[in-house]
Amino acid sequence: MGFVVEHECPQCGAPVDLEETHRILRCPYCEVKNLLFARDMFRFVLPYTAPGKDILYAPYMRFKGVAYLCKDIAISHRIVDITRLGTPFTVLPMSLGFRPQTLKMRFITPHDTSSFLASSVTGEDILNVVGQHTSAFVSTRFVYRAYVGEVFSIIYLPIFVEKNMLYDAVTHECIAFLPDGQVHLDSAVADNPRWQISFIATMCPNCGWDLDGERDSVVLTCGNCNSAWEASNGRLIPVTCKTVIGGNDNTIYLPFWKINATSYQGLEFGTYADYIRTTNQPRVIQQEWEHMEMSFWVPAFKIRPRIFLHLSKHMTLAQQDFETKEKIPTVSAYPVTLPLSEAIQSMKVTLADSIMNKRTCFPLLPQVDLTIGEATLLYIPFHETGYEIIQEQMCVSVNKKALEFGRLL
Ligand SMILES: [Zn+2]
Ligand SMILES: [Zn+2]
C-alpha cells in the first residue's frame, strides 16, 4: 500500500498532498506543475512533535515492485511491498507496521536539525531480503529472477532517548530500555545526508510550452511541438514516440515500449524469425521474418503482473506491422507510468514466457545477455466496450478495473 506525502509548492508555498507513486507536483492554487526528482532515492520522515527533545532519525528501507521468478516450467510473480529496519540496532522495531499508510509524511530537508543514524543496509541488501521473501513462495530452485517497476526509498522513524529509555517520537511510546542511555546510539550517528528533493520545471526543452502529464506520468508530452520527454539524472531527455493509426471517438491510446533487442548467448536470436525458432513457436516462418528486426513490446504502464506478462508475450510474438504516424495523441492517451529502464528489466521474463520448451530452455536464461537497440514509445488504440478496452487487430483486451488498480501499484 502506498502513502501520502505533504510538500510545499515550490512556486507559491501552498501545501500539496502527493501519493507515493506521484512524480508530478501539481499545485491546486497556482496551477504550476513540477516534476519530482531525487538524486538517489526518495527519503521521507514520519510526522512528529517532540519539543525540546534531541531527535534521532532511524532509517527504514522500503521496496515496492513486482518480482518474477522462472523455475521448472513456469513463471511465478508477486507484488512486493516491504519496509525493513535499516540499522543494526535491533532494539528498534523491524518494521513500521501500518504507520506510513495512516500518517502523512514529509520529505527530509538539508535543514533538518535531527541526528541521522547510519544506514547499514544497501539497495542490494534489501533486494536480498526481497529475494528471501519471494523465493519462499516457490518450492523448488529458480533459475532466473527479475524485479520490475521497483521503487527504493528510505523512511525515517524519529526517536529520542530520555532517562535510559528509548521513545518513538511519533507515538511517544517507550520502545526499549538502554542501560547506557544515549551513548548506545551515539556511535551510529552519521553525517546529515543533506538530502533534498529536486524539481524540474515541466517546460518543453524544445519550445518552452507547458508539458502535459498526469501526476504519476514518467513521460511528459508537448502538445505544441509534438515531442515526448523522460526525466533522467535531473534533466529531460527526448523520447521517440509514434501513434498507431486507427482511433475513433471511443479510443483510449495505451502506451507500449517497443524495444529492439538481440541475444547471442544462451538463447540466440538476431531477427524475428530466429526468435520464433528459438522459442519453438508452432508457426510457419515467413520469408520476410528472416530480415525483420526483433522487438519486445512491453506495456509502458503498471498493471497486475499476470496481465503485464500476457500483454507483453502476446504482442512480442505477434510483432504486428502497424501503420503509424509521428503525431502524439493529445486526448485519451493513457499515462506512461513504467519508465523505459524498468521495461528493459522485464524483457528476459517475456522471453522466458514465450519459450514453448521451458524445461530445456529455462536453465539457459541466466546466460542470455540481451543487446538493447532502439526504443520507441508506441501509442496503440484500444476501443472501449462495457468493462474492457479492446485492440481489434491484435485480439487483446484489458479490463478497465485492472488499469485503475495498476495506478496504485
Ligand atoms: Zn503553488
Ligand atoms: Zn514543445
Check whether 138 has a pLDDT greater than 70.
Answer: no
If you average pLDDT over every residue of the chain, what do you get? 89
The confidence band for 255, taking pLDDT boundaries of 50, 70 and 90, is very high
The confidence band for 338, taking pLDDT boundaries of 50, 70 and 90, is very high
Q: How far, CA to CA in Å, does 303 sit from each of 308, 313, 348, 402?
A: 6, 14, 18, 7
The confidence band for 322, taking pLDDT boundaries of 50, 70 and 90, is very high
Q: What is the pLDDT of residue 76?
A: 87
Residue 18 Cα, ligand 1 centroid: separation in angstroms?
A: 13
State mean pLDDT over 249-261: 94
Residue 221 Cα, ligand 2 centroid: separation in angstroms?
A: 8
Give kind and range of the element (H or E) at residue 396: strand 396-399
The confidence band for 192, taking pLDDT boundaries of 50, 70 and 90, is confident
DSSP 3-state of 90: coil
Least confident of 28-32, 134-138, 296-300, 345-349: 134-138
Q: What is the pLDDT of residue 155?
A: 94
User: Distance (Å, rounded) from C-alpha 20 to C-alpha 65?
Assistant: 13
Residue 108 Cα, ligand 1 centroid: separation in angstroms?
A: 20
Give kind and range of the element (H or E) at residue 354: helix 347-354
Check whether 18 has a pLDDT greater than 70.
Answer: yes
What are the residue ranges spanned by the domains of the chain?
38-198, 240-406
Q: What is the pLDDT of residue 183?
A: 76
Check whether 135 has a pLDDT greater than 70.
Answer: no
User: Distance (Å, rounded) from C-alpha 288 to C-alpha 148?
Assistant: 33
pLDDT digits (tens, 9 = 90+) for 61-116: 888 888 888 888 888 888 888 888 888 888 899 888 877 778 899 999 999 889 99
Check whether 312 has a pLDDT greater than 60.
Answer: yes
Which of these, 102, 104, 86, lies nearest to 94 by C-alpha position? 86
Check whether 313 has a pLDDT greater than 90.
Answer: yes
pLDDT digits (tens, 9 = 90+) for 286-301: 999 999 999 999 999 9
Q: Which ligand is nearest to the CA of 34?
A: 1
Residue 210 Cα, ligand 2 centroid: separation in angstroms?
A: 8
Q: Which ligand is nearest to the CA of 30?
A: 1
